[in-house]
Amino acid sequence: MASRIARKITKAVLSREQMDGDGARVYRSIGSHALRNLDPFLMLDEFDVRAPGGFPDHPHRGFETVTYMLDGEFLHEDFKGHKGRIGPGDLQWMSAAKGIVHAEIPANNSRAHGLQLWINLSSADKLSEPNYQEYPKEQVLHVSPEEGIDIKVIAGESYGVQSPVMTRTPTMFIDVKLKKGKTMEQVIPKNYAGFIYTVAGTALFGGDQHKSEAHHTLVLSENGGTYIPVESTSDDCHFVVIAGQPIKEPIVQHGPFVMNTQQEIYQAFADYQHGRNGFEGAPEWTSSIRDRWSS
């Protein structure tokens, strides 16, 4: 019988509040000075935005953005005419790949709160066609192994429930809520690098029972461990387990472009400025929601 090894916590990073976009408040851990990236992950923001703040028209190339709303609503619109509304519990998995220009703006005057994860793409996928996978909360798979344990399977698998989300970079994203005293174990493939982000409450994480509270990113050991155990120590314990297969390629990032070489970054800027190679029409485009909250 294969041995079971529990992952441990090797690093804890408190997300620091900063401003991003246009007057939007985010709490950033991965992508900050304390944790530049965690292959294959480039950034994790817990955004907490109110109008008129938001993320007006901006480009991406070379990676995927995963937006998971916790409270409130965002409007989304891109330069190819794709638009929609992302509400509480909804998921948008956007592969920008060779090029997306879009805007993300609060839909109303209420708090818009959620998580946005940036996942790197391999060199083979960076210039592929953009793609959206969108799931309203009713279609996000859910499992409750026992009372007091509530799990949403955003990507990957938990307690036998497999998400339909296709991940170009093999990734798991599990959202967990626990009542006080409840325990759970999340299986993680041995070759995945990963982390836990604590949204609310307190718990003991990992084989070393690391104590943690809200807004901390906990980096998981890469010891070939096959699972992460968690025990809640509060009634409002809420966290996500995110892990993926490292790409192990050079990362050159300049703002919204993430490629493998500096030359590819120069090419991305030139393509965006001249409206070519995936950015056709981008220089002339302005979203209809950009000025929604302008006075």
Confidence check: pLDDT of 6 > 70: yes
CB atoms within 10 A of CB 141: 16
Residue 176's nearest CA partner among 150, 196, 155, 202 is 150
CA distances from 63 to 6, 96, 180, 266 (A): 30, 6, 37, 16
Lowest mean pLDDT: which of 197-206, 210-219, 283-292?
A: 283-292
What's the whole-number mean pLDDT along residues 254-274? 97
Please return the burial class of 22, using the count of CB atoms within 10 Å of its CB with bins 0-12, 13-18 and 19+. middle
pTM: 0.96
What kind and span of H or E run contains 262?
Answer: helix 262-274
The string of DSSP letters for 18-41 reads EEETBTEEEEE-TTBTTB--BTTE
Give the pLDDT band of residue 1 (cuts 50, 70, 90). very low
Average pLDDT in the chain? 95
Domains (ranges, CATH) in the chain?
A: 9-244 (2.60.120.10)
Q: What is the pLDDT of residues 19-31, one digit of tens each?
A: 999 989 999 999 9
Q: Is the peptide bond before 52 cis (omega within 30 degrees of 0)?
A: yes
Confidence check: pLDDT of 34 > 50: yes
CB atoms within 10 A of CB 18: 12
Residue 33's nearest CA partner among 57, 11, 50, 16 is 16
Q: What is the pLDDT of residues 48-97, one digit of tens each?
A: 999 998 999 999 999 999 999 999 999 999 999 999 999 999 999 999 99
